Amino acid sequence: MRFARRVVAVSIILVILLTAFLPANTDSLVSRPHPAADYAAAVARARLFQRGDSIATPTGRSVLRVHGHRTPRAFVLFHGLTNSPYQFRDLADSISNAGDNVFVPRLPWHALAGGTQRDLARLSATALREVADASIDIASGLGDTVIVFGLSLGGTMAAWVAQFRPVDRVVIAAPALGVSHVTAALETPLMNLGLRLPDYSHDDPRDPLRPDRMPGWCSRGIAQMMELALAARRGASERAPRTHAIRMLVNAHDQTINRTLVDDLVASWRAKGASVETHELSDTLRLPHDVVDPTERGAKPSVTEPLIVALLYGRQVW
């Protein structure tokens, strides 16, 4: 009996080790580009994308701000996990008012009316890759140059774009390449467990003033985000990024992301000859992880918005 228990215990340990350390295959998470031929085709694709927003809350739907013609620049903004395009309402207004076209896609399973973290557990790295590709394809018809910005999960998508798509500039803010308080060596095993074990979800109370938000977390959604990040990191270790102008914005007070993985990605890109600028928001500012949304507790939009706009337009910053 005692021997049988030992066999069971050893078997369980072996299964957990195999689950954690069997390498994930990210070969399918490469770009499949199909850029829009012209402005009309790009707008048609964006409108088709927006049809999927019928299940989302009104404030959480994809945003398309266009001027009726191709503009010198087209911007794509990727929002964060549990958030929505509403996160970028002020930034999208600023870009549009400057005369440029902008597309802010709603990410899969986000901003659902009455949605919970169980919905976000349906998120997949493949779906995120498809949205990233589709958004760049749309922007290719909206402007002469394409500029991408992403925060958190959106930052992970922006990093993937920088690696696999030849756009003109990518600004990456606080990319969620891994979770905080976990050593870099354990990030991939942790991701594998999240991908292969049953999902564990936790819902936080919803804010009635922000029905587009789906607060909380789920292990499967985080793991899928990390898998897309792994595809970008592996790509960076093998070849130079397709985007040559990359700007990384990090927040010294950020307790959400794994900074080591961010620094390693920047080092990989630079080793391949890419031009990567890194800008850090001081810890003394005590900024939240979300440095874009002006309604976040501790937000300082008077500091962060001018900096982000300068990074997007390629202007000189401190």
Extended strands (E) in the chain: 63-65, 71-78, 101-104, 143-151, 169-173, 201-203, 216-218, 245-251, 275-281
**Residue 77 is assigned to a structural domain of this protein:** yes
Give residue-wise pLDDT tens across range 226-277: 999 999 999 999 999 999 899 999 999 999 999 999 999 999 999 999 999 9
* Spatial contact of 244 and 273, defined as CB atoms under 8 Å apart: no
Q: pLDDT at position 181, please?
A: 80
Q: pLDDT at position 10, please?
A: 40
Containing domain of residue 276, as a range?
41-312
**Residue 286 is assigned to a structural domain of this protein:** yes
Q: Which of 43, 66, 61, 18 is nearest to 192 (CA)?
A: 18
Q: pLDDT at position 18, please?
A: 46
Distances (CA, A) of 298 to 116, 293, 295: 26, 10, 8
Q: Domain holding 282: CATH number?
A: 3.40.50.1820
The whole-model pTM stands at: 0.92
Q: pLDDT at position 12, please?
A: 42
Q: pLDDT at position 184, please?
A: 82
Number of domains present in the structure of the chain? 1
**Residue 18 is assigned to a structural domain of this protein:** no
**Residue 23 is assigned to a structural domain of this protein:** no
**Residue 123 is assigned to a structural domain of this protein:** yes
Residues of the chain with pLDDT under 70: 1-23, 318
**Residue 318 is assigned to a structural domain of this protein:** no
Q: pLDDT at position 272, please?
A: 95
Cα 109 to Cα 113: distance, rounded to the nearest angstrom: 10
Length of the chain: 318
**Residue 79 is assigned to a structural domain of this protein:** yes
Q: pLDDT at position 86, please?
A: 96
**Residue 290 is assigned to a structural domain of this protein:** yes
Q: Tokens 């600028």 belong to which residue?
A: 277
